[in-house]
């Protein structure tokens, strides 16, 4: 190779140094020393939204303070389960970070494709932990998933039953009160009305919760999009474009009950909705995962950025193992297993990183031997994902 060729090859190699415009660095480590307000530029004019909180407790506050509901909860246990204790910057994929940051700046959903086990879903949790965006809202997709189920659910039957029970209780209380009047004069008050408001029977789904007017974007994981009905991608188009939706059950009550407090997808969470309309302030960080098993309509693809997840190399695999197993990853026998897995995964292209973690945990627990029994166990754990019997 000539000196010029060497210089050209060096220039062509992607730098691992973070770009100056990056908000997300790709490390998965919390940025305690930064504020998202300081590093995230304002959205493009065509992706600016003006949702505001409907909390009546803020009605007398300065308008600038009325624009957000309570901050989302943290979910440290889930982050630890998904990511381990840390992810180093050594295995950072610059192209991946470029696409994540482009989606953040443009306020567009990110369609993440790749074979199972390449870390598509994990990306949402890495973004959330690094940027401090709170609990990830996960929407697992199946063939029965609908846009409505992602936005909210309303238990109309439960509300009717509750009203009937409360009415019966009131009638029994009134009869008991009349009996007490006859026997001993004035009695206590009748049983209170036990009918709950409509908000107790209406719960926002993951998508509906993500579109609440939070100050900072929520992270929404739309997982395994391939499984959806053929029309489902088209159903999402208007939501991705408008950043809002209407709850008809609440809109019909807006003259008599302009604000309603409903449940959210967060455990124990609630939010106020005004006039039956939910509109975001910060468009959520939407990660849509797909195994590449089907094509999506051009209109849907136009509203998304596309990231093809790279196969994890030895560096990335070592990072993942270190995050979950700590110093154990430095043991020679485990490092040998990691290298063997990386080679086998490169050759067969049908393995997932969690299969490596399973094998390493077995090995560190004393299951590893030098005989055929260990090889058979390892083969069972490292079976290809397109079928246990695949070669």
Mean pLDDT across the chain: 82
Q: 137-140 and 219-223 as β-strands: parallel, antiparallel, unpaired? A: parallel
DSSP notation for 243-301: -EEE-HHHHTTTTT-SEEEEE-SSTT-EEEEETTEEE-SS--EEEEEE-S-S---HHHH
Categorize the per-residue pLDDT at 386 as very low, low, confident or very high, splitting at 50, 70 and 90: low
pLDDT score, position 179: 45
Q: Specify the 3-state DSSP secondary structure of 124.
A: helix
One domain for residues 78 and 211: yes
Distances (CA, A) of 367 to 55, 377, 383: 57, 9, 18
Domain membership of residue 359 (yes or no) is: yes
Q: How many other CB atoms sit within 10 Å of the CB of residue 278?
A: 27
CATH number of the domain where residue 121 is located: 3.40.50.300
What does the DSSP 8-state code read for residue 2? -
Distances (CA, A) of 114 to 156, 291, 349: 40, 5, 11
Q: Which domain holds residue 362?
A: 314-381
Q: Which residues pair with 286 in a beta bridge?
A: 220
Q: Over the stretch 103-114, which tens digit does the pLDDT of each residue have?
A: 999 999 999 999
Last-in-domain residue among 308, 326, 348 = 308
Domain membership of residue 251 (yes or no) is: yes
Q: Helix axis angle, 332-348 relative to 314-325, nearest 10°?
A: 130
Quick check: pTM over 0.75?
Answer: yes
One domain for residues 203 and 100: yes
One domain for residues 250 and 111: yes
Q: How many domains does the chain have?
A: 2
One domain for residues 238 and 349: no
Among all chains, which residue has been given the structure tokens 């990511």? 83
* Burial of 366 per CB tally in 10 Å (0-12, 13-18, 19+): exposed
Residues in the chain: 391
One domain for residues 133 and 217: yes
Q: Over the stretch 259-297, which tens digit does the pLDDT of each residue have?
A: 999 999 999 999 999 999 999 999 999 999 998 888 999
One domain for residues 146 and 74: yes
Domain membership of residue 192 (yes or no) is: no
Domain membership of residue 262 (yes or no) is: yes
Categorize the per-residue pLDDT at 151 as very low, low, confident or very high, splitting at 50, 70 and 90: very high
State yes or no: pLDDT of 204 exceeds 70. Answer: yes
pLDDT score, position 225: 95
Q: Over the stretch 28-64, which tens digit does the pLDDT of each residue have?
A: 788 767 788 888 999 999 999 999 888 777 655 555 5
């Amino acid at each position: 190779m000539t000196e010029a060729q060497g210089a050209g090859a060096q220039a062509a190699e992607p730098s691992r140094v973070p770009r100056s415009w990056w908000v997300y660095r790709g490390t998965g480590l919390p940025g305690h020393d930064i504020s998202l307000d300081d590093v995230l530029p304002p959205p493009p004019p065509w992706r600016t939204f003006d949702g505001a909180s409907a909390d009546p407790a803020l009605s007398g506050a300065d308008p600038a303070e009325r624009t957000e509901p309570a901050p989302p909860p943290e979910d440290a246990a889930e982050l630890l389960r998904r990511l381990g204790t840390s992810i180093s910057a050594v295995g950072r994929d610059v192209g991946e970070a470029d696409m994540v940051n482009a989606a953040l700046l443009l306020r567009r959903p990110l369609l993440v494709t790749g074979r199972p086990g390449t870390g598509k879903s994990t990306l949402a949790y890495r973004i959330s932990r690094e940027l401090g965006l709170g609990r990830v809202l996960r929407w697992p997709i199946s063939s029965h998933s609908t846009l409505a189920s992602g936005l909210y659910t309303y238990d109309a039957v439960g509300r009717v039953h509750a009203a009937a029970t409360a009415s019966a209780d009131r009638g029994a209380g009134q009869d008991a009160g009349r009996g007490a009047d006859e026997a001993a004069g004035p009695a206590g008050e009748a049983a209170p009305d036990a009918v709950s408001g409509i908000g107790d029977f209406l719960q926002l789904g993951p998508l509906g919760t993500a579109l609440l007017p939070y100050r900072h974007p929520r992270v929404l994981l739309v997982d395994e999009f391939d499984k959806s009905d053929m029309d489902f991608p088209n159903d999402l188009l208007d939501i991705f474009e408008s950043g809002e939706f209407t709850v008809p059950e609440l809109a019909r009550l807006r003259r008599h009950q302009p604000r309603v407090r409903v449940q959210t997808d967060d455990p124990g969470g609630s939010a106020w909705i005004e006039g039956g309309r939910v509109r975001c302030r910060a468009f959520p960080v939407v990660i849509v995962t797909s195994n590449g098993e089907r094509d999506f309509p051009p209109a849907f693809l136009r509203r998304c950025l596309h990231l093809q997840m790279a196969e994890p190399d030895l560096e990335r695999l070592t990072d993942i193992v270190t995050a979950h197993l700590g110093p154990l990853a430095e043991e020679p026998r485990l490092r040998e297993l990691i290298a063997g897995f990386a080679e086998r995964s490169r050759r067969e292209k049908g393995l997932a990183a969690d299969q490596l973690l399973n094998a390493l945990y077995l090995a560190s627990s004393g299951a590893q031997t030098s005989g055929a029994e260990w090889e058979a166990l390892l083969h069972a754990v490292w079976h290809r994902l397109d079928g246990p019997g695949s070669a």
